[in-house]
Amino acid sequence: MKVLIADDHALFRDALGKLIESLDTSATVVQAANYLQTLKILNTEPRFDMVVADLEMHDSPSWEQGIDELKKSAGDARLVVVSAVENPRSIRNALEKGASGYISKRSESKILLNALKLIVEGGTYIPPVLLNKGSPVYEKHTARTLTNRQNQVLGLVAQGLSNKQIAYEMGVSEATVKLHINALLRSVGANNRTQAVITAQKMGII
């Protein structure tokens, strides 16, 4: 796995690099200290599997222009936004434009690691702040569409945990977790985990 970390704080880049290497000991981590350097690396080096970038670097353009340019230059690489800004609108914008996740720099290392693992495995990480702020609130009676177990699974899915991690947290088997998730998807009319979280948020369930 080849990963580009773009951030203007060296300590954060180094710490993030170590987390990625803990997920994949064979990972190649390349660092960029600013936005222009990030574009240069993406346009000159062989393809990356994942690009983790802060869109608030000192030389970054506007938010929308920045993510559009990075998505274009990153090609098939999974784009992950890291930021100290936890604005629901910015998070939604990043996800709608194709980012595979939006991770707050204020996250604990365990959450950061789980989020990266989910993304590496092909999932999309949605931060809890998106589930609590800036969304329409619908009548709470819709929460009755889920059982207590399904609500518990939904909360853990929203944190970016894998089926294995959810099974550990709940003290059940992975097969049981899959059953709960399938029931959850049917209950909220979603096709995948990410859509289930967003739909549940709009329904006022979480």
- Encode pLDDT of 139-174 as tens digits: 333 344 567 788 888 889 888 899 999 999 999 999
**CA atoms of 58 and 136, how far apart (whole Å):** 33
List all residues 6 or more positions away from 9 whose beta carbon is below 8 Å from its beta carbon: none
Which residues does the chain have with pLDDT short of 50? 132-144
Which CATH superfamily hosts domain 2-127?
Response regulator (3.40.50.2300)
Q: Which two tokens stand for residue 123?
A: 């999932």
Backbone angles phi, psi at 124, to 5 degrees: -125, 130
Domain(s) of CATH 1.10.10.10: residues in the chain:
135-202
The pTM is what?
0.66
pLDDT computed for residue 129 by the predictor: 67
Domain(s) of CATH 3.40.50.2300: residues in the chain:
2-127
Statement: 135-202 belongs to CATH 1.10.10.10: yes
Q: Which two tokens stand for residue 154?
A: 């939904």
**CA atoms of 147 and 155, how far apart (whole Å):** 12
Backbone angles phi, psi at 80, to 5 degrees: -120, 125
